[in-house]
Chain A
Amino acid sequence: MKYCNKCGVHSEDAENRCPLCESFLLDEGGESGPSRYPDLELTLNWYTVLKRAYLFFAILIITASIIVDLLRGMGISWSFLSIGVVGYSWTVIYHAIRTNTHFASKILVQAIAGSLLIFIIDYMSGTVGWSVNYVIPQILIFANAAIFVLMLINFMAWREYVFYQLVMTFIGLLPIFLILFNVVTRPVMSYVSVGISAAILVGTVIFGDKTVKSELIRRFHI
Chain B
Amino acid sequence: MTSWHRLDNAANVFPLIAHQTFSNVFRVATELYEPIDAELLQHALDVTLPNFGNFNFRIRRGFFWYYFEPTNARLLVREETLRPCAYIDTKNRHHHLMRVVYYRNRIAVEVFHAITDGTGALNFIKALTENYLRLKKGETLPEAIPRLKIQSELEDSYKKHYKKALKNEKGALGEVSRALRLKGKLLPVNTMGVIHGTVSVDQLLAHSRSIGVTLTEFLVGTYVWAIYHTKQEEGLIKRPINIAVPVNLRKFFESNTNMNFFSHINVTLDATKEPVSHEDVIAIVKKQFREKISKEQMLKNISKDVALRNNPLTRAFPLVMKNIFVRLAYMKNVQAYTSTVSNIGKVEMPELFKEDVKQFELLVNVSAIDPIKCGLCAYENRLVITLTSQLESTEIQKNFFRKLVEQGLTVTIDTNGAYYEIL
Chain A residues near B (Cβ < 8 Å): 1, 7-13, 15, 17, 19-22, 34-42, 99-102, 159, 210-211, 214, 218-222
Decide if A36 touches B413 in the complex (CB within 8 Å).
Answer: no
**Would you list 12 pairs from A and B whose C-beta atoms are within 8 A, ordered by A residue?**
A7-B398, A9-B402, A9-B405, A9-B412, A10-B412, A19-B415, A20-B394, A36-B31, A37-B103, A42-B191, A100-B91, A218-B60
Q: In the complex the two chains form, is B67's CB within 8 Å of A19's CB? A: no
Tell me which of B93, B190, B191, B401 contacts A101 (CB under 8 A). Answer: B93
Interface membership of chain B positions 394-423, coded 1 if the CB is closer than 8 angstroms to chain A and 0 otherwise: 100110011001100011111111011001
Known interface pairs A20-B394, A21-B398; A41-B414 also in contact (CB < 8 Å): no
Partner of B411, one of A9, A210, A214: A9
Give the docked Cα–Cα distance between A222 and B312 (Å): 9
**Cβ contacts under 8 Å, A99 to chain B:** 91
Tell whether, in the assembled complex, residue A219 and residue B412 are in contact, meaning their CB atoms are under 8 Å apart: no
Instruction: Please state if A221 and B413 are interface contacts (CB–CB under 8 Å).
Output: no
Known contacts A37-B103, A38-B80; is-contact A12 B65 (Cβ 8 Å): no
Confirm or deny: B224 has a beta carbon within 8 angstroms of a beta carbon on chain A: no
Contact call B415/A17, Cβ cutoff below 8 A: no
* A13-B415, A221-B64 given; A20·B401 CB < 8 A: yes
Contact B402 A8 (CB under 8 A): yes
**B residues at A contact (CB < 8 Å):** 1-2, 4, 6, 31, 60, 62-65, 67, 69, 79-84, 89, 91-94, 103-106, 188, 190-191, 194-195, 197, 315-316, 394, 397-398, 401-402, 405-406, 410-417, 419-420, 423
Interchain CB contact under 8 A, A15 and B2? no
Which residue of chain A has its CB nearest to the CB of B61?
Answer: A219
> Assuming the A-B contacts A41-B81, A42-B190, A221-B6, are A9 and B401 also in contact, with contact meaning beta carbons closer than 8 angstroms in the complex?
yes
Evaluate contact between B4 and A37: CB separation under 8 angstroms. no
A221 contacts across to B, CB distance below 8 A: 6, 62, 64-65, 67
Closest chain A residue to B191 by CB distance? Answer: A40
Residue in B81, B92, B416 whose CB lies within 8 Å of A36:
B416
Q: B64 and A35: CB pair below 8 A?
A: no
Once A and B bind, how many residue pairs between them come within 8 Å at the CB atom? 118
Give Cα A117–Cα B76 distance, bound, in whole angstroms: 42
* Inter-chain contact B416/A218, CB cutoff 8 Å: no
User: Closest CB-CB distance, B75 to chain A, in whole Å?
Assistant: 16
The 10 closest A-B CB pairs, nearest first, are A8-B405, A37-B416, A20-B398, A12-B414, A10-B412, A222-B315, A218-B4, A100-B92, A9-B411, A19-B419
Which listed residue, A7, A42, A159, touches B405 by the CB 8 Å rule? A7
Bound CA span A10–B103, Å? 23
Q: Are B394 and A19 in contact (CB under 8 A)?
A: yes
| Interchain CB contact under 8 A, A10 and B4 | no
Contacts known (A19-B394, A218-B62, A222-B64); A38 close to B415, Cβ less than 8 A: no
